[in-house]
Amino acid sequence: MPNELENVLLVVSGPSGSGKNTLLNYILENRPDSVHSVSATTRAPRFFEHDGVDYYFKTTAEFEQLIDEGGLIEWDKYRGNYYGTLVSDVQRKIDMGLNVVFDITIPGAENVKRLFPAETKTVFVLPPSIRILRHRLVNRKSDDEETINKRIEFAIRSEIEKYRDFDYVIVNDDLDEARRNILAIYDSLTNPDSENTAAAERFKKDAFAEHAEETIRKIREEIRADAEEDAGEQIQQ
Ligand code: 5GP
């Protein structure tokens, strides 16, 4: 998929509940030259989702046909469902001269980067704490408690440290600040003369590593404290 127009492919990833979707929407609302990559999935639509807007909803057979035909730039399986980025959707948006933003899994981000290294920039969104991550997942009301616990466990066990493979890192602590930061990253990539270019430097992975490591340390301590509390409660019962 040649990209003669040199559009930016901005991939935003992070654990479920990190707030990446809110941040990505903020770019879409504020930058008319940006557009969302609408993925294909075999997951059932949530009550507020529309086919062709949030996802292209497919059967497993349809999705597997897309894989066989080479219709996907990348695909991944997440919690038993297929998710994949459509060549046709992204190509059409590139042809329109737009910058494409992606909300995809961490392996998906790595694959897009590998396939389009010059055009792709990746942003990892870290949650500030497990308490906040849980709060967001509960408020979203789309998963039961067991699913939420599994998502959190997955985030801790295999996701948060992957930030090291990304170009930029944001901790989604204060939402207004995180919005400003993601926009600064977008502007610096799409318009290097932007006054936001200097601001974006702070979120380059190496510049931000100390803050990211500190956040991960705090998350691990939180998990340990929660586990000790649970063990204490069990002894008392
Ligand atoms: P959800 O079911 O909550 O909409 O999405 C579940 C996960 O699938 C999220 O982490 C989302 O970023 C990811 N996802 C959505 N579309 C794609 C895609 O096209 N490719 C990959 N690799 N992941 C995707």
Q: Residue 64: what pLDDT?
A: 98
Q: What is the DSSP letter of 86?
A: E
Q: Which two tokens stand for residue 15?
A: 């654990």
Question: What is d(CA 110, CA 43) in angstroms, rounded to the nearest whole number?
Answer: 22
- Taking CA atoms only, the protein residue closest to ligand 1 atom 10 is 105
Q: Residue 111: what pLDDT?
A: 92
Homologous superfamily (CATH) of 37-97 is Guanylate Kinase phosphate binding domain (3.30.63.10)
CA 153 vs CA 20, 63, 157, 166: distances in Å = 18, 28, 6, 21
Question: What is d(CA 63, CA 59) in angstroms, rounded to the nearest whole number?
Answer: 6
Q: Residue 5: what pLDDT?
A: 47
Instruction: Pick the atom of ligand 1 nearest to 86's CA.
Output: 19
Picking from 185, 224, 177, 232, the residue whose alpha carbon sits closest to that of residue 207 is 185
Intervals of CATH 3.40.50.300 along the chain: 1-33+100-237
* CATH architecture for the domain at 1-33+100-237: 3-Layer(aba) Sandwich (3.40)
Q: Please give the model's pTM, rounded to 2 decimal places.
A: 0.88
pLDDT digits (tens, 9 = 90+) for 185-227: 999 999 888 888 888 999 998 888 888 888 888 888 887 787 7
180: Cβ contacts below 8 Å, ≥ 6 apart: 199
* Residue matched to tokens 């990833």: 13
- Taking CA atoms only, the protein residue closest to ligand 1 atom 21 is 104
What stretches in the chain show pLDDT beneath 50? 5
Ligand 1 pocket residues where CB is under 6 Å: 16, 39, 43, 74, 76, 78, 83-85, 103-105, 108
Intervals of CATH 3.30.63.10 along the chain: 37-97
User: Dihedral through CA 86, CA 92, CA 98, CA 101, nearest 10?
Assistant: -10
Question: What is d(CA 209, CA 135) in angstroms, rounded to the nearest whole number?
Answer: 26
